[in-house]
Structure 1
């Protein structure tokens, strides 16, 4: 086929004549249809944007470059970017009840790196939660903390409370005198004791950095207390977990001086251009969370508690029954006696149930490739409109696969049929199909609004 530059041609014809192009488009479409129409997506670190936020995401700013900060750039052509970034920070500041929010980190890990580098130097000590107890890898010697030459010292953990052991942690902080203490994590079912840890840390001159990536939506939804109000000096976060925005990051501080110091580090040390097209989607999602965030956060946690109870009723070993299983979006299941995490997660994937294997506090470091746990998140299925009644059905599907040993492919058909009832994103703006097309034309072709 001869293709002249600029020639308008049908997509089917293009795909027929360019096999590599067809492969790319097919893979993308197949993924999108499978995950958005046929799956129960319960990875605890994922979510979906509203259609309006997605359309706002597809804008010309993805082609542009902005070093520096609003109104103090190194390039021209950014007058609208500057105003949008300021507006997005203002919206997030209102949600977090602080004036000091920075959206330049392009991930939660980048935000962590900024905080670590600001308040430490190589050779300094950091007290962090154990990886098995939920600390993100960036908090450890294996990730950003280690790459920056900071010594990792693990805080004591109470398995009975599934949380940091406050008394032992305070004693450790007093003895070690670290430069920073990190709280928060990836396996995060109960709030860490921010107030008590902050008091101990501040007494020895340490900064408290609370990673709220997983629970940002619960914080702005007022289901979890804002760590800044409890004494944390900094919160770091991604923006696409319980907060259902675009993939990206942020940090926020209590004090202006900390904010200014971190601003000097995030650029130029860890970010140059900071993926400008996400700012609009971030702002749209922030406005949605102002309007519906509290209802959304409450439903996420109610669904997690109900799913945990239903899984336990179906024969699964769900951790922490004594404390109501969870107070976050996460449900943690010990599947060591059922085949362990790797095998069970793959079996469930075959049934269109997407969860992830996860280390549990009593796992050995060498168990990382096949840990004993599953981590299950309710934030995305809640975003699609599922409530407590649906948690019972989901628990039954999981029992069929894992305990009853039914053919996962047969269960996948049932899951797909169930999923048909939940095709519209909730807790966000809904616009007409006509307006979706209108906005898409603007984003793709710069047509007039």
Structure 2
């Protein structure tokens, strides 16, 4: 029988987890950290509020809780996304990458019976795209390639001319190298001129906003989406961008029936993260992710760990795939050993080119945490020692904790700043607030 959890247990477990997180390092490529100031809205009143009145029309403030903070979405988050994403039209409504996928498929995929084309899972396509599209009544065809990191454009041309899809949804999830969007768009335009091309850049989004990857909209894509917590260091949320007013209108007409609360506080937190990204070295951070990933792949290879795509420089982005099975260590065991050493990684089946499971890691959060230079050599030494079980995990965990004593990317608030004092006072006030239910219970008890 499970022991009931008390509020004391909640606070204790949160404190223990926070202590462990501050000593450890996440290398899960689909996760990232964010600054304390960008998390502040999640603790305050906007977390509880709806916001719908984007036009600020006086007759449309049916939900008034977000009225005072309206400008933080419309004059901070949205303009920064337009600027960094180079798109005239932005939706900040999606709650996650998968939620954005559902919105785009529903808005642009056509009516029941329409055909959409996406990337085959063995070439890196997202596991959920085809199933979700079929649940919306759409037919699904796949783009394929001879290897796990490429698409066959001749096959694509034949497929597109034959099925004339409403939408090509480019959905790389397991991805070491990005799709050549410009060539794919040219193929679509030549073979099926009426077909829209949407690029889901969830894993690449921070690299796109930082200029380390080319913007798919510049490459001819009709629309772009991405989650904001992978290579971009923001809240767990997603956005949709386009330069086409008609596409934007279709997205807006659809989102009203798929998304109610769009998590207003997270949208404000996203705006703060975008401001930090623009003004505190976002492009340098994006370039560093790419450089660190390629270097770390080489460092692991030199330490006896089999890294996929060695012949292509290991990766063009933030992910590395490790075949520890080939090195005599089952991926689950490798993950366990790394966790004991303070390093969190993915182990999973379904990585393109892998017969069984592999270990998937990312250098996005380590880069955000400030690791660079010789730090990467030390991290590779710890990583390899953990996988091969050549040093005690406790000693390795202490070395990881030492690596965490770095400066993070983003705005640094001086300890004497009035801004910090105000933020801390807001946090303290939020924690001191006693719920009315507790006061009622106390009154009854007395």
Give the shorter-chain TM-score range.
0.7 to 0.9
Instruction: Answer yes or no: is the 8 Å Cα contact 1:126–1:182 preserved in 2.
Output: yes
**Aligned partner of 2:18 among 29, 32, 35:** 32
Partner in structure 1 of residue 149 of structure 2: 162
- TM-superposed deviation, 1:63: 1.5
| Residues 19 and 346 of structure 1, relative CA distance in 2, 3 Å threshold | closer
Instruction: Answer yes or no: is the 8 Å Cα contact 2:222–2:242 preserved in 1.
Output: yes
Partner in structure 2 of residue 361 of structure 1: 352
**Aligned partner of 2:361 among 356, 367, 376:** 376
For 1:427 and 1:343, the matched residues in 2 are separated by: 35
Instruction: Answer yes or no: is the 8 Å Cα contact 1:68–1:272 preserved in 2.
Output: no
Instruction: Give yes or no for the alignment of 1:398 onto 2:383.
Output: yes
For 1:413 and 1:48, the matched residues in 2 are separated by: 21
| Residues 19 and 223 of structure 1, relative CA distance in 2, 3 Å threshold | closer
- TM-superposed deviation, 1:68: 6.1
For 2:112 and 2:329, the matched residues in 1 are separated by: 42
* Cα deviations by residue, 1:278-298 (Å, 9 ceiling, x for unpaired): 122111111111121111001
For 2:135 and 2:332, the matched residues in 1 are separated by: 28
**Aligned partner of 2:118 among 120, 128, 136:** 128
Partner in structure 2 of residue 61 of structure 1: 46
Q: Which deviates further from its counterpart, 121-130 or 40-49?
A: 121-130
Secondary structure of residue in 1 paired with 2:268: helix
Instruction: Answer yes or no: is the 8 Å Cα contact 1:129–1:157 preserved in 2.
Output: no
For 2:308 and 2:416, the matched residues in 1 are separated by: 44
**Aligned partner of 1:246 among 231, 235, 238:** 235
Instruction: Answer yes or no: is the 8 Å Cα contact 2:50–2:65 preserved in 1.
Output: no
Secondary structure of residue in 1 paired with 2:128: helix
| Residues 441 and 206 of structure 1, relative CA distance in 2, 3 Å threshold | same
| Residues 33 and 70 of structure 1, relative CA distance in 2, 3 Å threshold | farther
**Aligned partner of 1:265 among 254, 257, 261:** 254
- TM-superposed deviation, 1:405: 4.6
Instruction: Give yes or no for the alignment of 1:137 onto 2:127.
Output: yes
Instruction: Answer yes or no: is the 8 Å Cα contact 1:187–1:375 preserved in 2.
Output: no
For 1:177 and 1:431, the matched residues in 2 are separated by: 58
The number of aligned residues is: 416
Secondary structure of residue in 2 paired with 1:79: coil
Instruction: Answer yes or no: is the 8 Å Cα contact 2:210–2:285 preserved in 1.
Output: yes
- TM-superposed deviation, 1:167: 2.7
- TM-superposed deviation, 1:73: 5.2
Instruction: Answer yes or no: is the 8 Å Cα contact 1:132–1:360 preserved in 2.
Output: yes
Instruction: Give yes or no for the alignment of 1:41 onto 2:30.
Output: no
* Cα deviations by residue, 1:361-401 (Å, 9 ceiling, x for unpaired): 2346xxxxxx4321111111111110132222222112112
- TM-superposed deviation, 1:274: 0.9
Partner in structure 2 of residue 186 of structure 1: 173
| Residues 362 and 151 of structure 1, relative CA distance in 2, 3 Å threshold | farther
Structure 1: 5+ residue stretches without partners: 1-17, 365-370
**Aligned partner of 2:69 among 78, 81, 91:** 81
* Cα deviations by residue, 1:296-339 (Å, 9 ceiling, x for unpaired): 00111111011001011111111112221111111121223233
Partner in structure 2 of residue 202 of structure 1: 189
| Residues 206 and 310 of structure 1, relative CA distance in 2, 3 Å threshold | same
For 1:316 and 1:52, the matched residues in 2 are separated by: 38
| Residues 247 and 96 of structure 1, relative CA distance in 2, 3 Å threshold | same
- TM-superposed deviation, 1:19: 6.6
* Cα deviations by residue, 1:392-425 (Å, 9 ceiling, x for unpaired): 2222112112224544344223323333x32x32
For 2:378 and 2:308, the matched residues in 1 are separated by: 20
Structure 2: 5+ residue stretches without partners: 431-446
For 1:294 and 1:148, the matched residues in 2 are separated by: 38
TM-score norm. by structure 1 comes to 0.87
For 1:29 and 1:297, the matched residues in 2 are separated by: 31
Instruction: Answer yes or no: is the 8 Å Cα contact 1:130–1:155 preserved in 2.
Output: yes
- TM-superposed deviation, 1:354: 0.7
**Aligned partner of 2:291 among 274, 287, 302:** 302
For 2:46 and 2:332, the matched residues in 1 are separated by: 40
**Aligned partner of 2:160 among 173, 178, 184:** 173
For 2:12 and 2:146, the matched residues in 1 are separated by: 48
Secondary structure of residue in 1 paired with 2:88: coil
Instruction: Answer yes or no: is the 8 Å Cα contact 1:104–1:249 preserved in 2.
Output: yes
Partner in structure 2 of residue 441 of structure 1: 425
Instruction: Give yes or no for the alignment of 1:316 onto 2:305.
Output: yes
* Cα deviations by residue, 1:115-162 (Å, 9 ceiling, x for unpaired): 100122233222211224322233222xx3232232332211232x71
- TM-superposed deviation, 1:20: 0.8
For 1:333 and 1:179, the matched residues in 2 are separated by: 37
| Residues 202 and 328 of structure 1, relative CA distance in 2, 3 Å threshold | same
For 1:23 and 1:240, the matched residues in 2 are separated by: 28
